[in-house]
Structure 1
Amino acid sequence: MTSGPSDGATRTTDDDAPAQVAGQVTEVSEHPSPTLPAHLERLTERARDYVDAASSANTRRAYGADWKHFSGWCRRQGLELFPPSPQVVGLYITACASGAAIPGGKPNAVSTIERRLSALGWNFAQHGTPLDRADRHIATVLAGIRNTHGRPPVQKEAVLPENVIAMLETLERGTLRGLRDRAMLLLGFAGGLRRSEIVALDAGRDQTEDGRGWIEILDKGMLVTLRGKTGWREVEIGRGSSDSTCPVVAVQTWLKLAKIGHGPLFRRVTSRGKDVGPDRLTDQQVARLVKRTALAAGVRADLSEGERQMMFAGHSLRAGLASSAEVDERYVQKQLGHASAEMTRRYQRRRDRFRVNLTKAAGL
């Protein structure tokens, strides 16, 4: 699944306050199962842990919220959840597309409806009652929704190197929060990392249970080992041409002054900016950092304030590296962990627009 909660789904007034996540995963009740011998109970718990590990936390939150949305709609319509009915699901996605799924609701985007369908399929499967998404009551309605409401994909604006430098200038100098945010921006851009990958890093290997990667500082740069959407990968981040814009120097400075030698790499700054707490930042805080600094730096100042508010998010860093790096696409693909070269080319097409003018080449 590629869709997930939007960058702006959760807001807090304090960037370092713990994010309150809406739509926590709704527990899916299991069918009664035979009582297992006591010596197998520990294996049962481990199996549940592996089930959780099969998908990301963002995916589980989205699936839980979608199941709750569908359950509420069925309850209001007087319909039964089980067994799964393609006719009922077809009516549900029609309600989603028309804005009638909840009182006073708005029409869902096609990508949201497709994610909701994935969530229903997953939840029904957990009950041992699979949903047939190929059934004509679902497939035909979904095809009609795509044809009627489909829109070109909306991509976040890429921040280019000159934008990142301007964004760094908006951060407070000499403060722990400013040092941390500087390190996050430079590491996220130079590594082409997803926002979830940035905050999941530890200061060293296998230091926390919730960590999904770690960093190693070497003479020539920094090696980031992380577990992303496509599995484990290594990301090489070389040293910059200047200490002021070098991601390695920025991370080293943050680690030294924040006195971090073990545990989460990026954490909350507490006590009015004087101390560093133990809590790992959330990925929403990366998105807010990028948006806040991009707006403060005047990136795309040619657009209205409302348009600019919608253009920047955590993905802007990742898109920026892919759009600006003038190297062979296979190196960009490896850095970003793309499963296919076609995904990488989507960014490079934006970079290469109008480089070749076929109109003039044809003689016009």
Structure 2
Amino acid sequence: MVDSESEKSTSAPSDAFDDVQVDERDQEESDTIALPSHVAGSGALDRLVENARDYATASTAENTNKAYAADWKHFARWCRMKGTAPLPPSPAMVGLYLTDLAAPTGPAPALTVSTIDRRLSGLAWNYAQRGFSLDRKDRHIATVLAGIKRKHARPPVQKEAILPEDILAMVSTLPLDLRGLRDRAILLLGYAGGLRRSEIVSLDVGRDDTPDSGGWIEIMENGALLTLNAKTGWREVEIGCGSSKATCPVHALEQWLHFAKIDFGPVFVRTSRDGKRALDTRLSDKHVARLIKQTVLKSGIRAELPEKDRLALFSGHSLRAGLASSAEVDERYVQKQLGHASAEMTRKYQRRRDRFRVNLTKAAGL
């Protein structure tokens, strides 16, 4: 397993050169925000153009931008391999591309329906950024996608929830040094808040501490209030104090901030290699995913399974699913904590719940 603190192709050479050329063209095509050709440039206008590009980039989450960029790169290379071009958009070629993703003619594995759907969204977004419109209702796309869903769709594979006894076992494997204090706070805060891993690492101590902040914390007498700029908009998450200091997320957070001497900027940062000194660099959300998998292995959760299967069962979403599955409160409070727009979405996170508490059969007189 890669040390979290040391974060630092099979194509032929001619393909690699072509890919570089495609990337360069894609970069030129993606810089769609520019001054009209009849307007003379100036320092002030050029700065406005750069600011506009920054705002355009910020219109979607960083991970979404990365995924969409990868989608376009893959599609552009596929088009080149088929002897065509990705521009202007051709619904017929997009339909063939989706077909190749679902039933590949080469050695590549078939993609899931959800991934194919996401690829199509990525292409539509990329075309829009280049000034084109991809008609997803065109018969070449819509009927092919409908057929793929009808033939290949399967229930989504959900990650397992981390239950209360699991999270306690996981934090008990952490050392008592500075790095251990940080990781304990990450796990407990993420679990109690039902937070996404990106939300955990985007937190700042105070409001407007850093330009890349995704929210901030306020520690109060009875808990901590998190104000988050999440994928569904701004929301507040209340995390109350636990029943004991050993398992209290608020106490763990206070311990980390105190001993790391953090009173400004990112809450969760990297530490020195010896684990004794906090650095200035904000943690990546990948650290949370690695931390969960590492502590799952060390704690012996699902030890009856091979290591590979155990690692595949858990991810960053296991923290959110754990809260949704374990909190013995009215469902609407869980929905609010997770920031879901509908109760139906919250129920998808509940791995164990009383599915037949409302018995419509008896209510109908049977």
State if a TM-score over 0.5 links the two structures: yes
Seen in structure 2, the aligned counterparts of structure 1 residues 55 and 331 have a Cα distance that, compared at 3 Å, is same
Seen in structure 2, the aligned counterparts of structure 1 residues 283 and 319 have a Cα distance that, compared at 3 Å, is same
Equivalent residue in structure 2 for 1:125, among 110, 124, 128 = 128
Equivalent residue in structure 1 for 2:2, among 13, 18, 36 = 13
Is 1:52 the equivalent of 2:57?
A: yes
Contact kept? 2:225, 2:239, Cα under 8 Å: yes
Identity of aligned residues (%): 61
Aligned CA-pair RMSD: 2.4
Contact kept? 2:5, 2:273, Cα under 8 Å: no
Q: In structure 1, what is the equivalent of residue 222 of structure 2?
A: 220
Q: What does 1:256-295 correspond to in 2, within 5 Å?
A: 256-295=258-297
SS of the counterpart of 1:244? coil
Aligned-partner Cα distance in 1 for 2:31–2:40: 15
Q: In structure 2, what is the equivalent of residue 150 of structure 1?
A: 153
Q: In structure 1, what is the equivalent of residue 14 of structure 2?
A: none
SS of the counterpart of 1:318? helix
Seen in structure 2, the aligned counterparts of structure 1 residues 245 and 347 have a Cα distance that, compared at 3 Å, is same
Aligned-partner Cα distance in 2 for 1:55–1:358: 42
Aligned-partner Cα distance in 2 for 1:57–1:266: 18
SS of the counterpart of 1:243? coil
Q: CA deviation at 1:270?
A: 1.3
Equivalent residue in structure 2 for 1:43, among 8, 30, 48 = 48
Seen in structure 2, the aligned counterparts of structure 1 residues 30 and 256 have a Cα distance that, compared at 3 Å, is closer
Aligned-partner Cα distance in 2 for 1:213–1:47: 23
Q: TM-score, normalised by structure 2?
A: 0.88
Is 1:70 the equivalent of 2:37?
A: no
Q: In structure 2, what is the equivalent of residue 321 of structure 1?
A: 323
Q: Which amino acid aligns with 1:177?
A: R
Q: What is the number of equivalent residue pairs in this alignment? A: 344
Which has the larger displacement, 187-196 or 42-51?
42-51
Q: CA deviation at 1:271?
A: 3.1
Which has the larger displacement, 43-52 or 135-144?
43-52
Is 1:167 the equivalent of 2:174?
A: no
Aligned-partner Cα distance in 2 for 1:176–1:52: 35
Q: What does 1:56-205 correspond to in 2, within 5 Å?
A: 56-100=61-105, 104-173=107-176, 175-205=177-207
Q: CA deviation at 1:354?
A: 6.7
Q: CA deviation at 1:126?
A: 1.4
Aligned-partner Cα distance in 1 for 2:213–2:301: 33
Contact kept? 1:16, 1:281, Cα under 8 Å: no
SS of the counterpart of 1:245? coil
User: Cα deviations across residues 243-296 of structure 1 (Å, max 9, x unaligned)?
Assistant: 000001000000111111111111111132122111111111101111111222
Contact kept? 2:160, 2:351, Cα under 8 Å: no
User: Cα deviations across residues 107-154 of structure 1 (Å, max 9, x unaligned)?
Assistant: 111111111111111111112111111000011111111111111111
Contact kept? 1:86, 1:132, Cα under 8 Å: yes
Q: CA deviation at 1:203?
A: 1.4
Give the gaps of 5 or more residues in structure 2. Answer: 9-22
Aligned-partner Cα distance in 2 for 1:266–1:179: 11
Seen in structure 2, the aligned counterparts of structure 1 residues 319 and 348 have a Cα distance that, compared at 3 Å, is closer
Q: CA deviation at 1:179?
A: 0.6
